[in-house]
Amino acid sequence: MGHVAGSTFGPASAYFYSIAKRKLACDSAGMTHLTFVFTDPPITSYNIRLNSTNDQVMTDDVVSVVVVGAGAAGLTGAIATAETLAKDGNSGRVLLLDGAKQIGAKILVSGGGRCNVTHKSITPKDFFGNRNIIRNVLAAFSIERTIAWFTSLGVDLKCESTGKLFPVTDDARTVVTALLARARHAGVIIRPGHRVIEILASRAGFLVRHSHGATQTSRVMLATGGQSLPRTGSDGFGYRLARDLGHRVTPRVPALVPLVLERSMFHATLSGLSHDVELTTLVDGREVDRRIGSLLWTHFGISGPVVMDASRFWTLATNRGAQVDLYGNFVPGRTSEELKEWFVAQATEHPRRSLTRILSMLAPDRFAESLCHHCWCDPQELVAQVARRDRERVLSTLTRFRFPIERDRGWNCAEVTAGGVPLEEINYRTMESKLLSGLYLIGEMLDCDGRIGGFNFQWAWTTGWLAGQSAARSLLAEKVPPHSV
């Protein structure tokens, strides 16, 4: 019978030995068989064979590549890996594990259920993070290639006036169905409801422990997502896996998230109203962001594209304890001095018009009335009778309105995560870890977040495709034999 003393165990087998009840038997070939029944936490029994001479772990489930997380990046990575291997005639197995029972849940709820696949124009300036690295990553999978790839999946895209690209069906399920069909056709083994618990690295590769057992593999692709929309399965556990494998993880905060205003504000009366505004974010008195776009008033505060894009600056600064101020100019591109001249001219030409009616020439009626009340002015007062002090207060507020932000709406309402595994720890040509050979990190779990409009999906498709091709090519270069059960 083979020796089972802990001193002769390799890293993976010693780990199993320490947490399991065991039975030993020896076959005619001199192989030691161990049957483990896990008790921490309870999972199914699992069989491992140890070569009595070199302690090599030989599991009942051995694959070439394990992809952890079946979201946009993970599905793309699995497909790219399997198809690249197949092109070379290699029948290596690709296993896609996801803790959620429903694959692609985050894709299904994106874009209002339509899935904003990408944008017609993508540049590094649309993202936050190390833009030199982001530029090189994006160059590997252009918009044209992305569109062509989706066409090959059977998903035709349409470009809307905003530059956003959606499936012509206006249904996110079209995207998920196509990705799953392509993955299965490529031979990817998809296992929903298989939550990864731990990943152990050794010179022989990786042992991926999950809720149904364990899998030995040569390559691991982490595509667990960030912490946004945790109900879809991305609860941030992937960061712990990355840390355990040696990576740093920068502070994470919700991004592309609506902001909650103090209850004393008038936002609830404007719920559903949207209009353009220029937002300026100051952190400790210094301007860090300025952008123009559509703001949506809601029952809790503010949302809309311009707010969602600016929110990362508020959440990041607040997270580190800095003073953050968000100002709005509801007449984008015009100063209070310019408006003063305009207002005086309007009062001269239309002296009997109300203050609200004059302001309605600049902003929506409902907002103009609420702004007057906020400034302690009578909305119905004749414009020619408005006191100079009141006029200046209204115009100053109109062009530099400080939003009294109470908090952000949290991870459940955030569309993406700001922060994550530093891009500097990844080889941008392959998405392989610089710290651990055979480990690839992709998608939202990296410290890169894009603005609203399909940019974060483009990052997912690109990093998944790049990692998948790279992992497969590295296996082929090493001439690693195809794994089979």
- pLDDT tens for residues 411-466? 999 999 999 999 999 999 999 999 999 999 999 999 999 999 999 999 999 999 99
**Is 425 part of any domain?**
yes
Q: What band does 22 get if pLDDT is binned at 50, 70 and 90?
A: very low
Which pLDDT does position 480 carry in this prediction?
A: 55
> Is the model more confident about 17 or about 119?
119
pLDDT tens per residue across span 119-167? 999 999 999 999 999 999 999 999 999 999 999 999 999 999 999 999 9
Residues 217 and 365 in one domain: no
pLDDT for res 204:
87
In a domain, 415, yes or no: no
What is the per-residue pLDDT for 483? Answer: 53
Nearest to 230 by CA among 221, 242, 222, 238: 238
Identify whether residues 56 and 95 lie together within a single domain. no
> Domain of 102?
63-253+420-478
Greatest mean pLDDT range, 1-10, 17-26, 71-80 = 71-80
pLDDT digits (tens, 9 = 90+) for 353-411: 999 999 999 999 999 999 999 999 999 999 999 999 999 999 999 999 999 999 999 99
Domain co-membership, 404 together with 428: no
Q: Is the dihedral of CA 256, 261, 265, 269 positive or negative?
A: positive
170 within some domain:
yes
| 277 domain residue, yes or no | yes
Q: What's the CATH number where 146 sits?
A: 3.50.50.60
What's the domain count of the chain? 3
Residue 1 belongs to a domain: no
Evaluate whether 261 touches 301 at the Cβ level (below 8 Å). Answer: yes
- Write down the mean pLDDT value for the chain: 88
34 pLDDT higher than 80: no
Same domain, residue pair 77 and 35: no
Q: Residue range 159-178: average pLDDT?
A: 98
**pLDDT tens, residue by residue, 422-435:** 999 999 999 999 99
7: pLDDT strictly greater than 60: no
Same domain, 351 and 440: no
Give the residue from 14, 33, 60 where a domain finishes: 60
Q: Which of 389, 409, 429 is the last residue of a domain?
A: 409
Average pLDDT over residues 48-63: 47
Whether 453 maps to a domain, the answer reads yes
- pLDDT of residue 65 exceeding 60, the answer is yes
In a domain, 124, yes or no: yes
Whether residue 300 lies inside any domain: the answer is yes
Q: What is the pLDDT of residues 303-333, one digit of tens each?
A: 999 999 999 999 999 999 999 999 999 999 9
Alpha-carbon distance values, 219 to 56, 215, 344, 480 (Å): 17, 11, 70, 11
Q: Are residues 328 and 451 in the same domain?
A: no
Predicted confidence (pLDDT) at residue 57 exceeds the cutoff of 50: no
Strand ranges of the sheet holding 31-39, from the earlier edge strand across to the other edge: 20-26, 31-39, 42-51, 57-59
* Residue 50 pLDDT > 70: no
Residue 56 sits in the same domain as residue 68:
no
Structure tokens at 12: 């993976």
Shared domain check, 263 and 246: no
- The tokens describing 62, both together, are 């051995």
- Contact present, 120 and 162 (Cβ < 8 Å): no
On whether both 179 and 107 belong to a single domain, the answer is yes
Considering the domain architecture, whether residues 71 and 166 belong to the same structural domain is answered as: yes
| 455 and 389 fall within a common domain | no
What pLDDT, on a 0 to 100 scale, did the predictor assign at position 454?
A: 97
Q: For residue 230, say if its preceding peptide bond is cis, omega within 30 degrees of 0.
A: no
User: Mind listing the pLDDT tens digit for each residue in 229-262?
Assistant: 998 888 999 999 999 999 999 999 999 999 999 9
**Lookup result for tokens 């209002």:** 112
Q: Across residues 59-86, what is the average pLDDT?
A: 92
The pLDDT assigned to 326 comes to: 98
Last residue of a domain, one of 351, 383, 409: 409
Q: Is the pLDDT of residue 27 over 70?
A: no
Residues 459 and 473 in one domain: yes
Q: Are 49 and 62 in contact (CB under 8 A)?
A: no
pLDDT for 92 equals 81
